[in-house]
Amino acid sequence: MKLQSVEIVNFRPYRDSHLDLTDRDGSIHVVEGDQGGGKTSLHTAIQWGLYGGDGPGTNYSEHWNERAKQDREEKMSVEIKFKEGERSYTLIREIDRFNHTQGRAYEETTLIGNTNTYSDEEAQNQIEEILPEQLKEFFFLDGERIQRLIEEDAGQQVKREIETVLKHRTIINAQNDLEDLLEDRLIPRRDKIEEEASERDEIVQEISEYRDDIKDLKEQNEDDRDKIQEKNKILEETREELEELNEEKIEEINDLEAEIQVLQQDKVKILSELNQSWKELRYAILFDDVADLKQELKRQIKEYDEQLSEIERNQIIYELTEEAREGECPICGNDDIEYLKQHDHEDHDENLKEQITERIVELREMRDRLDSVEPPEDAPGDKQVRLEEITSKIEEKQDRRDELLDELGGLPEESERDTLEQNIKQLENDIRDLREDIEDREKKIQKIQQEIKKLENKREERSSNKDLEEVTDKIGAAKTAIEKLKTIREKHVREKRKKIRDEMNEVFDQVAQSEFMNERYKGLDFRGTPDEDDSYVLQLVEVDGETKDMVNHQPSAGESQLTALSFIFGLNKYARYSSTVVFDTVAGRLDLTNSEAQGEFFASLDEPLLLLVTDSELRDLGKSVQQEIGAHYEIKPEGKDSKLKKVK
């Protein structure tokens, strides 16, 4: 996060001040001012702009500019422009409504990016992703308070901050997510599976019985098909015998039989297609479900229409409220309006209105698609008509064949012909009956299969033993992962501990240059070993290798500041976050030598700094800082207020 500019309105001593940090001639930006002039207020304003604070009411009562209060100017705001990588952002935090009777203020936060705009909670979440608030003391430094990092009880806090800087927050969140997964999903899922086991077994038994019925029906069909084959064979033999009795008549009869056979095949084909068309006719089978879905869509459309109406109503109320705030009641016209409670603008959020409108359009499109469903072109009714036509032709052919057989009955071999004709007719009837039986059983099988499908869906809604094994495995895996994440965190911090110690010693060597510090101390270290509870308490290492007893012998303010400063900039080398460092009260209680050493260190840094200093502090930092100055502002008094003036 590289600060570009800061705009302050009615915050503490600043009525309307602007700070531009885009000067590229130097990496150290300076705001210079006397004690009490507003350096700390500027420091506080930047932090309030990024993170808010103790709530709108407290912030307003503590930070509202006195002259603005007298002039009844309600608005207080901080606008910060910054870059994160290649992306530019504008953050605006403002309070422009204050209830003087109840002492309440209403705060709005907006974050504008290259492509997206975020408001309030969403905006704050984005800021937290860029630079978490718990790390602000690593980037917004106060020389008079920085020494808290070396206090006896700060060890575990330092460790947590190291984890956050190293982006261990992701690992910590993963642990919390896994623990929530165990408690909220996996364990309740396991309990539910155990409860559903007996019900699932009953469904499985019912499905098994249905499948036994299907097996019996299929076996009967196979038997009947064998019978049809046998009867067809007998029928063929009988026709051959009849043909021998009268070749001319038999030839015509054979032609009729062939035609009948073709028609029978066509009939079988049409029956098959009819069966298939019924299968494809899903909309008929799903008629009730489609109707229910359409009803649900209508209910949802009505519900969203009501929500949209409510938003539009709130918009009207909001506009009326705004008009009333301008001094005139939009209803009665009375311009003596002292107070009118602000209607919550979130109730008519335009984004929500747009989302609801889009949802209504989607639901209506779904409803229209269901209304437009049409039956397939190849409907069962068409097949039925074709089937009846073929059946009629078969009957015509059979009637003609019967006539010929009757004619053959007049031949001398009449009794034999009668017997053959009767046998043929009986065989045909038997075959037809067998085929009808098979067809009936096929339909029955289809219905049973549909019932099985319903039961299988019902069974799938209830978990199996396999599901129990899977969820048990997941519970075990989650517990193992939680333990591994804990181990990874500890191991990673232990590995970085030495590197951070080495880096902060390099910083210490640069900033601790006074004769007293050089003769007495050679560096810094963490207390104890990485596995001990107090392993991250900071210690000064004396020249003889012993650590300073900082509990019984409190370090001086200068020692504290140099120790904490070394730790912060040493840790920042490994930080997964970055920001323009804003440093208030830079010198603290450092002597001239250490101040100049600190200035040389600042000049060696790549990341930009914003130093809030007095003129004496700026001089004490030395020429190395002055040569790297980019933007340079002075805080000038304007009555009771302060103004930022750019130094040319």
Q: CA-to-CA distance for 153 and 470, rounded, in angstroms?
A: 45
Among 357, 434, 345, CA closest to 119: 345
Low-confidence ranges of the chain (pLDDT < 70): 24-25, 98-103, 144-173, 243-248, 250, 278-288, 326-349, 373-380, 407-417, 462-465, 488-490, 492-493, 528, 530-536, 551-552, 574-576, 588-589
pLDDT at 254: 78
pLDDT in tens, 327-377: 666 666 666 555 445 545 555 467 888 888 888 888 888 888 777 766 555
**How far is it, in rounded angstroms, from Cα 178 to Cα 186?**
10
- Output the DSSP codes for 181-214: HIIIIIHHHHHHHHHHHHHHHHHHHHHHHHHHHH
**pLDDT tens for residues 587-622?**
766 888 888 888 888 888 888 899 999 999 899 998
Res 277: pLDDT? 74
Closest to 110 measured CA to CA, from 74, 79, 73: 79
Of 588, 605, 580, the C-alpha closest to 21 is: 580
pLDDT for the residue 410: 43
**For residue 444, what pLDDT is reported?**
92
The C-alpha atoms of residue 223 and residue 438 are separated, in whole angstroms, by 10
Q: What was the pLDDT predicted at 31?
A: 96
What distance in Å separates the CA atoms of residue 428 and residue 435, rounded to the nearest whole number? 10
- Coil, strand, or helix at residue 634? strand
Q: Domain locations in the chain?
A: 282-374
Q: Put the strands of the sheet holding 76-84 in their side by side order.
A: 117-119, 104-112, 87-99, 76-84, 2-11, 14-20, 641-646, 629-638, 28-32, 609-613, 581-584, 140-142
For tokens 């590289």, name the residue.
2
**What does the pLDDT read at residue 32?**
94
Contact between 535 and 527 under an 8 Å Cβ cutoff? The reply is yes
**The predicted structure's pLDDT at residue 477:** 83
SS3 content of the chain, % helix, strand, coil (to 5): 65, 15, 20
Query: In percent, how much of the chain has pLDDT > 70?
Result: 79
549 by Cβ neighbours in 10 Å (0-12 / 13-18 / 19+) ranks as exposed
Encoded tokens for 573? 């080398």
Residue 411: its pLDDT value, please? 37
State residue 503's pLDDT score: 85
Cα four-point dihedral sign 464, 469, 470, 471: positive
Distance CA 1, CA 6 (A): 13
Alpha helices by DSSP H, listed for 246-349, are 247-280, 282-285, 287-325
Residue type, 341: K
